[in-house]
Amino acid sequence: MNDILKAIAERNSCRDFADTPLTEEQLSTLVDAALAAPSARNLQPWHVIVITDKALIDEMDADGMKVLAAQEDKSSFEQFTARGGKLFYNAPCMFVVVSDGSTYAAIDSGILCQNVVLAAHSLGLGSVICGMARIPLGSSRGAEFKKRLRFPDGYDYTMAVLVGTANSGKEPHEHDMGKITYIK
């Protein structure tokens, strides 16, 4: 099996990060992988905000958990509490992907995020594609966070990737062949 197929097969979503910050070389490699992502008509409708300010990540995390705790349906809050009480799993780095909302922006941003997680795996790092950054970015402090993250004008949150050294590993999920239809 070649390296790319091996990375796809072995990669899993990390939800338990060590405090270890990423090196400049690791960050540079991940940024290069992100920017290598293809996009429809090469419009590159994204902007990537790389956060390594752990205090800011933790502040957004606490705000997001506060929002979840205040919801009538406590299931999400309880799920994150059971996983250690951290929306961002103590990740030392967050790639926040914002996009211009154009037709293929969400798809193109997803491809970019997949490049980041596969590159992270190739570097021996853990990662998880995370939609939960939408919670603090949509909270009463959302405008403040967007300003601090320097969202470009006309761009909105699309998704995020958390990256860091994994404290623990797990097996990748099993393939559900019921999700595949062959037309021959």
Q: Where are the domains of the chain?
A: 3-167
Q: What are phi and psi of 50, to 5 degrees?
A: -100, 115
Burial class (CB in 10 A: 0-12, 13-18, 19+), 55: exposed
Q: CB count, 10 Å around CB of 31?
A: 15
Question: What is the value of pTM for the model shown?
Answer: 0.94
Predicted confidence at residue 170, as pLDDT, reads 79
Predicted confidence at residue 128, as pLDDT, reads 97
Question: Residue holding tokens 């940024």?
Answer: 31
Predicted confidence at residue 95, as pLDDT, reads 98
> Could you tell me which residues are beta bridge partners of residue 55?
none
**Tokens read off for 91:** 């990740």
Low-confidence ranges of the chain (pLDDT < 50): none
Enter the DSSP assignment of 14: -
Are residues 72 and 118 in contact, defined by beta-carbon separation less than 8 angstroms? no
How large is the angle between the packed helices 105-122 and 3-10, nearest 10 degrees? 100
Burial class (CB in 10 A: 0-12, 13-18, 19+), 41: exposed
Q: 3-167 belongs to which CATH class?
A: alpha beta
* 43 three-state secondary structure: coil
Are residues 112 and 34 in contact, defined by beta-carbon separation less than 8 angstroms? yes
Predicted confidence at residue 174, as pLDDT, reads 86
